[in-house]
Amino acid sequence: MNNIETTENIFVHFEKFIPLSETLKSELSKRIKPVEFKKGALVLDANTICTKSYFVNKGILRTYFIKDGKEISEYFSGVAEWVNSPRSFMQRKKDIYYIDAIEHTETYFINVNDLVYLFDNFPEMERYSRLSMGTLFGHFMERIASMRFTSAKERYDHFQRVYADIYHRIPLGMVASYLGITQETLSRIRAEK
């Protein structure tokens, strides 16, 4: 990944939400850096404070936590999505979430201090944050309703819709933990289709 490619991909994403001035483009270019992760790499350890937010250019990142020694998938992030541990990133405290790479993943990251600088100096960045977070918030509300009020099959159907571009690349064990079911139950649901 080169920096020109970095900024162009990021600019296209931002411009879906806000107009970008040349000054803001320049400031973003200075602060957004590329980083790649090999398949299986740990991007964030729950025992550390999350200081970076990652924008996926290629590949898939998974956010998960560990309960009773088992990994529970919370959500997956594909191309053109940001990922971090939200509470840790905003409050600068440790949280329960780990992030790993499901496959070789190319990302760009921005440090929390750089993001604060952009918010302080470019009001349109706060608008971007509000609009893009609204989409994410809607997704989480759907997920909560799905977990509380639907059958395992309906949850799997919802999962396939939400992750239409990437669900077939996510290992079944991770999908089952995301859905709150066993891998055997998931296999039965998939066989019925």
Write the pLDDT tens digit of every residue in 78-89. 998 999 998 898
Give the chain's mean pLDDT.
Answer: 90
For residues 2-6, average pLDDT: 50
Report if residue 173 sits inside a domain. no
pLDDT of 161 strictly over 60: yes
The pLDDT value recorded for residue 4 is 44
Contact, 156 vs 189, CB < 8 A?
A: yes
For residues 167-177, average pLDDT: 95
pLDDT of 144 strictly over 90: no
Contact, 76 vs 64, CB < 8 A?
A: no
The pLDDT value recorded for residue 5 is 55
Residue 10's pLDDT band (boundaries 50, 70, 90)? confident
C-alpha distances in angstroms, 54 versus 70, 89, 138? 25, 11, 20
Report if residue 177 sits inside a domain. no
| CATH classification of the domain holding 59 | 2.60.120.10
Report if residue 163 sits inside a domain. no
Token code pair at residue 129: 């944050």
φ/ψ of 62, rounded to 5, equals: -120, 135
For residues 121-132, average pLDDT: 90
Report if residue 130 sits inside a domain. no
Q: Is 43 exposed, middle or buried (0-12, 13-18, 19+ CB in 10 A)?
A: buried
φ/ψ of 13, rounded to 5, equals: -65, -50
Contact, 11 vs 28, CB < 8 A?
A: yes
The pLDDT value recorded for residue 193 is 67
Report if residue 147 sits inside a domain. no
Q: Which domain holds residue 99?
A: 3-121
Report if residue 86 sits inside a domain. yes
pTM, 2 dp:
0.90
For residues 159-167, average pLDDT: 92
The pLDDT value recorded for residue 9 is 76
Shortest CA distance to 81 belongs to which of 113, 59, 52? 59
pLDDT of 7 strictly over 70: no
* Residue whose tokens read 């055997």: 184
Report if residue 134 sits inside a domain. no
Report if residue 39 sits inside a domain. yes
pLDDT digits (tens, 9 = 90+) for 13-58: 899 999 999 999 999 999 999 999 999 999 999 999 999 999 999 9
The pLDDT value recorded for residue 6 is 54
Shortest CA distance to 186 belongs to which of 158, 155, 163? 155
How many domains does the structure of the chain reveal? 1
